[in-house]
Amino acid sequence: MLYRLTVGGRTYRIDADAETHDILQWIIESKGKPENLTGLSRQQVVARIGRSTLPTDFPQQDMTIGDESRENGFWRGWFDDTVKEWEERAINAAAAAAETSADEAADEAQTSEDGTSPAVWPVKSRQWTNIPIVADPRVAIATSRGIIKPSGVVAAGPMPSGDLLREFLVWNWGPNPKQSPQMWFTYEALLGLGVPMDDLPDDLEGLVASTFACEVTWSQSGWFTCRFTDHDGTKRKAQIVLIPLMYLDQPQQRPGDMGIAGIEGTPTELPEDELEAVKIVADRIAWLASVGDAGLAPASRWATVGAQLLDRKRQSGRAKQIDACPLPTDVIVEAGGDLEPTLPVKWDNRNHRARGSAIEVQVDQRAAYLASAGQLLLGYGKPKELQQIKTDVFHEQRPPFGLWRLNLPPAGQIDGLTKKLPLPHPGMRWDEPTTLWVTTRCIQHLTAPVESGGAGLGAEELDISTAWVWPEQQRLLRGWSDALRAKLLEAGELDRADYKQMIKAIYTTYLGRMASDKWPPYQREHQQPAWYAAIRADTRFRALRYAARIATDHGFYPVAAELDAWIYRLPADTDPAILDENSSANGKYRVKWVRDGKAEQADDQGGN
């Protein structure tokens, strides 16, 4: 009998005789538990350890999948324990190097004023051990007790003065770092540098420039992009992040959002204790770096992180050439900035008082936009204007991705529609015809049966006067969406509200900014308003399909709509669970809250 025994990350082959077989079988039956053999791919390993390639001292693979005799015909895999052991050795080696470095800046940073303060962390010590090293190559955090990496390794003592930051950057990251380093500072660390934290000037950029002897080229929400000049005139760039100033310049769409520092006034906001806050910041930075095995770094806006993830996904696969694609001028002129709106915000059929005993129930879609982003075919290439439209393309399983100028009759002339539900498109009117610019996904919605939430229009009934059609289409956001969905599930399993908030912020803000031109020149390809419109159309289609099914199956209609959420008023003896789709999949409806139906207005909002 052949056995393979895995111990300490290594696998051994055992050709067992009868006696050995009996012993091993007894151990298996009395002590063992069935378990799947799992490992990390090379791509997952390099992402986890924050490298571009495997280090020369990295252990040989624990497993091989495929045929090693064929070039590119096999994949290497490593056990998690193997990677952890290497990480521990790397941490110890890095800490030892920090302790023995003779660099003047390092020596100054490693010693407190009296050299004996018990508050100062010993260099090379590890203050916590439950955070991986994935973010260590990019981030360091300056505290009153020393400079620490996210993994908990103390790299140096407290920084004596701000003008030594350049020396620390050179010492810690070398002359040519692959990515722009991030240096984070706590409130207490800034006080130690003489920064007047309780009496800050209006010119924060000037304060940062004078404190750290650098040139500030950009700033937002406590983030400062800085340029330092070496002794030989070489320029180097780094980001300085002042944690106590991350509450500034909050995004209009997400008031209270301070990025990694959490949301103001919620349990995700950082505590006042410096050590507790630093560990939470380190944990969030490292967890963010693990999203999609992409080594993501924090940014002043979550939309930037979302773009970063998509860029990494494209780099790791066979990326298509994607160019920025603003809406055509005629679409902008006629549709304005509201192409494919969600459910009508003002749709509310509630009376001020419920009739009889009732309860109000709000249901909303799980990660609605994320669900749509991952499954939709999105167009790329240069769109072409069409004047002659063949509507039979909408009989095809994959009609072309496009924007269509559609003339619709009054909704009152379309059989089957009811005023108990919003119209399939918020721009439609009951008593007058309308002309709308819509996406392909909206056309599919309008041609769906009324009992499925559509308008029941036939393709031959569509009156399309002009269109813009993209030459190619693909599920361009599937890998991006899958990576975020996996981390959203992980956040739920860990019961971490801060992790869930981070993931939701990444996809909602990135997709929202996709519709705008607020991208720097090197990220222009993320301007894709037609994609965002298609995602909103798909979310609306799913919402009306759900409402139509509930009406058919249970006879209940919603009394109000809020974004992708519905509010129902049910008899008090009705189980609200009938409204739950009983699925954890993105896009499925779940009961958000239940309350006395006599209340006039809901406080909670449905979430995308």
The string of pLDDT tens digits covering residues 540-565 is 999 999 999 999 999 999 999 988 89
- Segment 522-534 shows an average pLDDT of 96
- Segment 207-219 shows an average pLDDT of 97
Give tens-digit pLDDT for 414-435: 999 999 999 999 999 999 999 9
Query: 580 or 5: which carries more pLDDT confidence?
Result: 580
Q: Are residues 264 and 205 in the same domain?
A: yes
Q: Identify the pLDDT of residue 604.
A: 37
pLDDT at 314 over 60: yes
- Segment 568-596 shows an average pLDDT of 93
Q: In residues, how long is the chain?
A: 608
Cα 326 to Cα 141, 330, 516: the distances in Å are 40, 11, 8
What average pLDDT does the structure give for the chain? 88
d(CA 534, CA 530): 6
Q: Are residues 65 and 107 in the same domain?
A: no
Domain boundary among 272, 298, 324: 298
User: Per the domain annotation, does 535 fall within a domain?
Assistant: no
d(CA 456, CA 188): 64
Half-sphere exposure of 369 (CA within 13 A, CB side): 22
d(CA 102, CA 363): 62
Task: Name the burial class of residue 23, with classes exposed (0-12), middle (13-18) and buried (19+) by CB atoms within 10 angstroms of its CB.
Answer: exposed
Q: SS3 of 114, please?
A: coil
260-281: burial string, b at 16+ Cβ within 10 Å, e else: bbbbeeeebbbeeebbebbbbb
Q: Are residues 126 and 193 in the same domain?
A: yes
User: Per the domain annotation, does 27 fall within a domain?
Assistant: yes
d(CA 424, CA 409): 13
Q: Are residues 180 and 273 in the same domain?
A: yes
Cα 238 to Cα 173, 214, 235, 480, 527: the distances in Å are 10, 10, 10, 27, 26
Q: Identify the pLDDT of residue 295.
A: 85
Q: Identify the pLDDT of residue 61.
A: 79
Domain boundary among 298, 319, 352: 298
d(CA 40, CA 134): 14
User: Per the domain annotation, does 207 fall within a domain?
Assistant: yes
Q: Are residues 164 and 125 in the same domain?
A: yes
Q: Are residues 71 and 101 in the same domain?
A: no
Q: Are residues 71 and 186 in the same domain?
A: no
Range of the domain at 237: 84-298
Give tens-digit pLDDT for 377-389: 999 999 999 988 9
> Measuring CA to CA, which residue among 299, 302, 283 is closest to residue 494?
283
Per DSSP (E only), the strands in 454-557 are: 463-469, 472-474
Q: Are residues 166 and 293 in the same domain?
A: yes
Q: Are residues 211 and 196 in the same domain?
A: yes
- The secondary structure of 183-200 as a DSSP string is EEE-HHHHHHTT--TTS-
pLDDT at 247 over 70: yes
Cα 142 to Cα 110, 118, 264: the distances in Å are 12, 17, 23
Q: Are residues 54 and 92 in the same domain?
A: no
Number of domains making up the chain: 2
Structure tokens at 48: 């986890």
pLDDT at 107 over 60: no
Q: Are residues 90 and 33 in the same domain?
A: no
Side chain identity at residue 270, one-letter code = L
- Segment 102-131 shows an average pLDDT of 64
Domain boundary among 35, 50, 77: 77
65-72 long-range contacts, Cβ below 8 Å, gap at least 24?
A: none
